[in-house]
């Protein structure tokens, strides 16, 4: 159960000053003035549990009901509560004892758990949830649970009918108090609290958040309120209630992709308390950030109405990267109606604008980051490089409660994600097309990244001051779009005395992607000026001959049908199973205007299409030895169609490449301690991908579905709100990944998958100290990661040219590989700290310090570039509550 917070009665709410009063306008005016001066982007307005807004996560997931239970005997009050909610209340007391208790009653609009808490207030009794439809009431004993300061025990998605502790899947919820303690402002930083997830740099054609979950890419597995968030952009946390990482089998609930799991961002929604929260941050990295969270209820309008708006503005840099800049602005207004009726609707709009000076970091050299003191060097053109996104997401959610055991809910979305980018990627030597073992032969030496017709002039013995860096320009202009609807029915019923919790749904819509890509390479030579490795001139004027290499239009139409049923086999056992069927129909068009002489020619492509149809399955079993814990087994499948990311090619469309197929087995346990203030999870899992797609390194149109990849491992997580003001979030994952078969890259067999650290660890602990101080300390460990699954190691030394005769008798030359190295980035530790102190009841001071020891490490690897983590920096903030 989540922490219950007493609601303000309607009469008291009416007596409070409206948002349009002076304090609300001062807050809104402050933000508007900041935005007019150039600030942009919104942070999550997080609050202490004592603050009314802190219960927002609960309101977002539990329906509000109107209660009118007068004061009187407790047994009569409980009977009235059962009639109002449809829940069953079991009183665990000696016979006749309950007649001695009186209840103060409850009148007003409350969640079910809050209403029961108020009925029991003053009796000395407590309650806990036995399951989703039954509450146990009794004196506090070893198997009872206090709701005060408990951790989150549910996710926001209606697809999951059971509490987290009874859900047979690894689900990590990053709650509001963690986001606030760590000063989190992005999805990327929120996910550093989840074991089994590693972050990577943006792709050439798709910028924005890029990550792997349990060893498999999840760039297209990011959801917003249960619908795929398809855009390529960097997500800000200003409108988050919490972040949910659902690892393991997820194909039945979410459709295509979801090999290792999915990420769901839960948005803030209107609640029945009135509040205004404003947060500001000022950083040593020149950050200036302001967020506002404003909520206004009007419970006498349209059956109970509430309005909420979150705003954000941010300007700043990146510590240790002098030319990188972040400029963001966001606004998220939301209105909910029918809060005290059986039909509730919420209309929300999210607008995010980003205008950054992007940084693709440092170049590779052989198997590691380039040598020399280059940590702070910038190889781009700060006046010409840009990343502009302008996202608009409109969502309507409607829910109708036919009865406490039957609900219909639908969510519809229209989203538009325009973006323009020109980013400089520093390169020294071109990437090897395949790994060659020691003793093997290559037909040519690595080529220069500046002129790919010439050998690379540098070796490990080269003086770094003599090395020239190619400034590869990644330039794209695109619009992604999404029209989607998802309708579900949730039902609880009995058949032959067996309880069922059924979720069945249909979803579908269309997604589009229209990228236009530009190149600056003519006759295999990059026409953009080069830079020196040691002292690049960031102020050098930009030049070069750019031309369009492709104009693409991709459109997919898809539909999915699914159901999941959970069966309660007595008090100790639950079984669940589900089936889903998806149809994914993609059309692709490509055109290139006539390129200049010597320019890259893209082969003309007639309109092509591909249809993939695939079922997904899931089965699970749960054993509950106690209401405080469960042990489970879970099995699920998922698939990755050829055009999963709306990127298609002749080879994929015209080949017989079947969808990639994934199978996951998971065994785990979950347990709560200290009266549900501490939730611990542990699991063992195994995920295997069959039909992994591979592109022939000698012919990009030859694509086969023939590879096999495997990831197995264990992970642990711990989230708690402990006594004496102590909060903790911790996690550990051990991932053993490997390529187990490859047609085109047989030398990669046995090597780890790309961007999969063998071990990750995270910990952050806060504690209340004297003088009203709250302090926090923690860190992250990420082990080394390889850059590529197909080319895991590269040659680092060669013999001189060796002459030989080909099979036809023609003379030729090749080179023998004398040494190889794994192409990887080293592991790292970083440490962070926080201190917070309230100054008044409405004013609070908070400071966060990141990378305390100023460690130099690679945070976001990519096969063609490396982005270092930010250096030591401090963010000092003032939080206001009105």
What separation in angstroms does the CA of 269 have from each of 112, 225, 310, 332, 350?
Answer: 18, 11, 10, 10, 12
Lowest mean pLDDT among 3-12, 273-282, 474-483: 3-12
Residue 800: CB atoms within 10 A of its CB come to: 7
Q: Which H or E element spans position 28?
A: helix 22-36
Residue 420 has pLDDT above 60, yes or no: yes
**Cβ contacts of 355 within 8 Å, gap of 6 or more:** 40, 327, 328, 386, 387, 388
**CA 370 to centroid of chain Cα atoms:** 30
Please say whether the beta carbons of 878 and 843 come within 8 A. yes
Q: Model confidence at 19, in pLDDT bands (50, 70, 90)?
A: very low
Residue 468's DSSP bridge partners are 532
Residue 10 has pLDDT above 50, yes or no: no
The number of C-alpha atoms within 13 Å of 287 and in the hemisphere containing its C-beta is 25
Residue 280 CA to residue 775 CA, distance in Å, equals 19
Average pLDDT over residues 449-458: 94
Largest CA distance in the chain: 104
Give the tokens for residue 671.
């347990």
What separation in angstroms does the CA of 620 have from each of 407, 666, 667?
Answer: 24, 9, 10
DSSP string, 102-130: EE--EEEEEEHHHHHHHHHTTTT-EEEEE
Residue 822 CA to residue 820 CA, distance in Å, equals 7
Residue 49 has pLDDT above 80, yes or no: no
- How many degrees, rounded to 5, is the angle at CA 630 between CA 627 and CA 636? 140
pLDDT tens digit sequence for 663-686: 999 999 999 998 888 999 999 999
**Among the residues of 54-159, which ranges form H helices?**
56-61, 74-85, 112-120
Average pLDDT, the chain: 87
Residue 632 CA to residue 618 CA, distance in Å, equals 13
pLDDT tens digit sequence for 562-599: 999 999 998 899 999 999 999 999 998 999 999 999 99
Residue 796 CA to residue 655 CA, distance in Å, equals 36
Residue 651: CB atoms within 10 A of its CB come to: 18
DSSP string, 762-816: EEEEEEEETTTEEEEEEEEEE--EES-SSS-EEEEEE---EEEE-TTS-EEEEEE
Instruction: Record the pTM.
Output: 0.85
Residue 342 has pLDDT above 60, yes or no: yes
Gyration radius of the chain's alpha carbons: 29
Residue 762's DSSP bridge partners are 731, 780
Give the tokens for residue 499.
């309880």
Give the tokens for residue 626.
């106690």
Residue 326 CA to residue 330 CA, distance in Å, equals 13
pLDDT tens digit sequence for 261-307: 999 999 999 988 899 999 999 999 999 999 999 999 998 899 899 99
Average pLDDT over residues 693-713: 87
Query: What pLDDT was estimated at residue 100?
Result: 62
DSSP 362: B
pLDDT tens digit sequence for 155-211: 888 899 998 999 999 999 998 889 999 999 999 999 999 999 999 987 766 789 999
Residue 92 CA to residue 407 CA, distance in Å, equals 30
Query: What pLDDT was estimated at residue 25?
Result: 40
Average pLDDT over residues 778-792: 95
Residue 512 CA to residue 315 CA, distance in Å, equals 31
Through-space distance between the first and last CA atoms of the chain, rounded to whole angstroms: 28
pLDDT tens digit sequence for 793-845: 999 999 999 999 988 899 999 999 999 999 999 999 999 999 999 999 899 99
- How many degrees, rounded to 5, is the angle at CA 528 between CA 526 and CA 534? 100
The residue to which tokens 């963690």 are assigned: 178
SS (H, E, C) 374-436: CCCCCCCCCCCCEEEEEEEEEEEEEEEEEECCEEEEEEEEEEEEEEEEEEEEEECECCCCCCC
Query: What pLDDT was estimated at residue 787?
Result: 92
Query: What pLDDT was estimated at residue 2?
Result: 38
Lowest mean pLDDT among 120-124, 534-538, 744-748: 120-124
The number of C-alpha atoms within 13 Å of 104 and in the hemisphere containing its C-beta is 9
Please say whether the beta carbons of 482 and 225 come within 8 A. no
Residue 15 has pLDDT above 70, yes or no: no
What separation in angstroms does the CA of 711 have from each of 172, 685, 740?
Answer: 19, 8, 10
Cα–Cα nearest to 649, from 590, 583, 567, 729: 590
**Cβ contacts of 536 within 8 Å, gap of 6 or more:** 377, 378, 379, 469
Phi first, then psi, for residue 251 (nearest 5°) are: -65, -35
What separation in angstroms does the CA of 464 have from each of 374, 458, 467, 536, 824?
Answer: 10, 9, 5, 12, 20
Cα–Cα nearest to 247, from 169, 158, 361: 169
Residue 574 CA to residue 169 CA, distance in Å, equals 13
Residue 144 has pLDDT above 70, yes or no: no
Residue 33 has pLDDT above 50, yes or no: no
Cα–Cα nearest to 275, from 29, 6, 16: 16
Pairing of strands 222-224, 261-267: parallel
pLDDT tens digit sequence for 377-405: 999 999 999 999 999 999 999 999 999 89
Sign of the C-alpha dihedral computed for residues 309, 315, 319 and 325 taken in this order: positive
Residue 833 CA to residue 735 CA, distance in Å, equals 28
Average pLDDT over residues 775-802: 95
pLDDT tens digit sequence for 217-256: 999 999 999 999 989 999 999 999 999 999 988 899 999 9
Residue 604 has pLDDT above 80, yes or no: no
Residue 4 has pLDDT above 70, yes or no: no
Residue 747 CA to residue 752 CA, distance in Å, equals 12
Residue 307 CA to residue 218 CA, distance in Å, equals 34
Query: What pLDDT was estimated at residue 16?
Result: 34
Residue 574 CA to residue 570 CA, distance in Å, equals 8
DSSP 254: H
Query: What pLDDT was estimated at residue 131?
Result: 67
Residue 349 has pLDDT above 70, yes or no: yes
What separation in angstroms does the CA of 717 have from each of 636, 681, 720, 764?
Answer: 22, 5, 10, 12
Cα–Cα nearest to 689, from 378, 345, 359, 258: 258
What share of the chain in percent tops pLDDT 70? Answer: 89
Q: Model confidence at 141, in pLDDT bands (50, 70, 90)?
A: very low
Query: What pLDDT was estimated at residue 24?
Result: 41
pLDDT tens digit sequence for 56-92: 433 344 567 788 898 888 888 888 898 888 888 887 7
What separation in angstroms does the CA of 472 have from each of 421, 428, 449, 599, 671?
Answer: 13, 10, 8, 15, 51
What share of the chain in percent tops pLDDT 90? Answer: 70
Cα–Cα nearest to 191, from 787, 865, 731: 731
């Amino acid at each position: 159960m989540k922490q219950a917070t007493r609601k303000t009665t309607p009469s008291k709410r009416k007596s409070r000053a409206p948002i349009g009063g002076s304090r609300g306008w001062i807050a809104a005016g402050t933000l508007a003035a900041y935005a007019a001066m150039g600030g942009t982007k919104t942070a999550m307005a997080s609050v202490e549990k004592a603050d009314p807004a802190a219960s927002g996560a609960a309101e977002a997931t539990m329906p509000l009901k109107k209660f009118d239970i007068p004061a009187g005997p407790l047994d009569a009050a409980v009977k009235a509560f059962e009639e109002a909610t449809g829940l069953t209340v079991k009183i665990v007391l000696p016979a006749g004892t309950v007649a001695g208790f009186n209840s103060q009653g409850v009148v007003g609009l409350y969640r079910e758990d809050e209403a029961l808490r108020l009925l029991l207030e003053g009796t000395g009794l407590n309650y806990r949830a036995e399951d989703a439809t039954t509450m146990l009431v009794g004196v506090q004993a070893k198997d009872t649970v206090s709701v005060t300061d408990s951790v989150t025990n549910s996710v926001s998605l209606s697809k999951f009918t059971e509490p987290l502790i009874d859900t047979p899947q690894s689900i990590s919820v990053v709650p509001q108090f963690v986001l606030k303690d760590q000063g989190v402002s992005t999805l990327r930083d929120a996910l550093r609290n989840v074991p089994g997830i590693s972050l990577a740099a943006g792709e050439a054609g798709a910028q924005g958040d890029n990550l792997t979950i349990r060893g498999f890419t999840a760039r297209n597995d990011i959801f917003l309120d249960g619908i795929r968030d398809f855009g390529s952009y960097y997500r800000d946390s200003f409108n988050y209630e919490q972040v949910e990482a659902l690892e393991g089998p997820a194909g039945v609930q979410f459709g295509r992709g979801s090999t290792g799991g999915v990420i769901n961002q839960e948005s803030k929604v209107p609640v029945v308390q009135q509040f205004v929260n404003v947060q500001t941050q000022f950083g040593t990295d020149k950050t200036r950030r302001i967020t506002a969270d404003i909520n206004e209820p009007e419970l006498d309008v349209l059956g109970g109405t509430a309005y909420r708006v979150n705003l954000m503005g941010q300007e700043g840099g990146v510590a240790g990267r002098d030319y990188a800049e972040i400029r963001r602005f966001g606004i998220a207004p939301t209105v909910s109606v029918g809060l005290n009726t059986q039909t509730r609707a919420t209309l929300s709009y999210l607008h995010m604008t980003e205008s950054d000076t992007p940084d693709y970091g440092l170049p590779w050299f052989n198997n590691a980051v380039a040598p020399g003191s280059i940590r702070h060097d910038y190889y781009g053109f700060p006046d010409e490089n840009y990343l502009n996104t302008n996202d608009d997401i409109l969502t309507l959610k409607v829910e109708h409660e036919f009865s406490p055991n039957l609900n219909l809910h639908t969510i519809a979305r229209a989203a538009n994600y325009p973006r323009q980018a020109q980013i400089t990627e520093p390169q020294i030597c071109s990437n090897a097309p395949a790994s060659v073992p020691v003793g093997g032969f290559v037909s040519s030496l690595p080529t220069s990244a500046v002129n790919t017709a010439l050998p690379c002039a540098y070796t490990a013995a080269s003086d770094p001051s003599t090395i020239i860096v190619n400034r590869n320009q990644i330039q794209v202009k695109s619009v992604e779009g999404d029209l989607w609807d998802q309708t579900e029915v949730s039902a609880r019923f009995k058949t032959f005395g067996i309880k069922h919790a059924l979720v069945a749904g249909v979803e579908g819509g269309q997604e589009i992607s229209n990228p236009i890509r530009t190149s600056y390479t003519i006759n295999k030579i990059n026409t953009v000026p080069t830079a020196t490795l040691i002292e690049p001139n960031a102020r050098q004027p930009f030049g070069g001959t750019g031309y369009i290499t492709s104009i693409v239009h991709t459109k997919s139409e898809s539909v999915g049908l699914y159901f999941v049923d959970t069966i309660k086999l007595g008090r100790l056992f639950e079984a669940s199973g589900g089936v889903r069927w998806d149809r994914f129909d993609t059309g692709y068009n490509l055109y290139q205007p006539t390129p200049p002489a010597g320019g890259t020619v893209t082969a003309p492509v007639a309109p092509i299409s591909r249809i993939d149809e695939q079922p997904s399955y899931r089965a699970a079993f749960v054993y509950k030895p106690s209401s405080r814990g469960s042990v489970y087994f879970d099995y699920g499948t998922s698939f990755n169609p050829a055009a999963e990311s709306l990127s298609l090619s002749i080879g994929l469309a015209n080949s017989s490449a079947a969808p990639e197929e994934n199978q996951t087995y998971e065994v785990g346990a979950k347990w709560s301690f200290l009266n549900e203030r501490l939730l611990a999870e542990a699991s063992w899992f195994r995920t295997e991908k069959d039909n992994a797609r591979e592109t022939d390194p000698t012919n990009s149109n030859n694509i086969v579905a023939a590879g096999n990849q495997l990831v197995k491992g264990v992970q642990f997580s711990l989230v708690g709100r402990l006594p004496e003001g102590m909060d903790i979030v911790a996690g550990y994952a051990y991932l053993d990944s490997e390529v187990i078969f490859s047609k085109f890259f047989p030398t990669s067999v046995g090597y780890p998958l790309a961007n999969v650290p063998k071990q990750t660890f995270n910990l952050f602990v806060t504690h209340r100290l004297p003088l009203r101080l709250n302090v926090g300390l923690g860190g992250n460990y990420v082990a080394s990661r390889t850059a590529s699954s197909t080319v895991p190691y590269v040659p680092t030394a060669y013999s001189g040219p060796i002459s030989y005769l080909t099979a036809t008798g023609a003379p030729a030359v090749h080179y023998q590989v004398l040494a190889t190295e794994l192409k990887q980035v080293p592991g790292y530790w970083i440490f962070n700290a926080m201190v917070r102190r309230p100054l008044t009841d409405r004013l609070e001071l908070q400071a966060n310090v990141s990378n305390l020891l100023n460690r130099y490490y690679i945070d976001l690897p990519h096969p063609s570039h490396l982005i270092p983590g930010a250096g030591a920096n401090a963010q000092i903030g003032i939080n206001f509550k009105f």
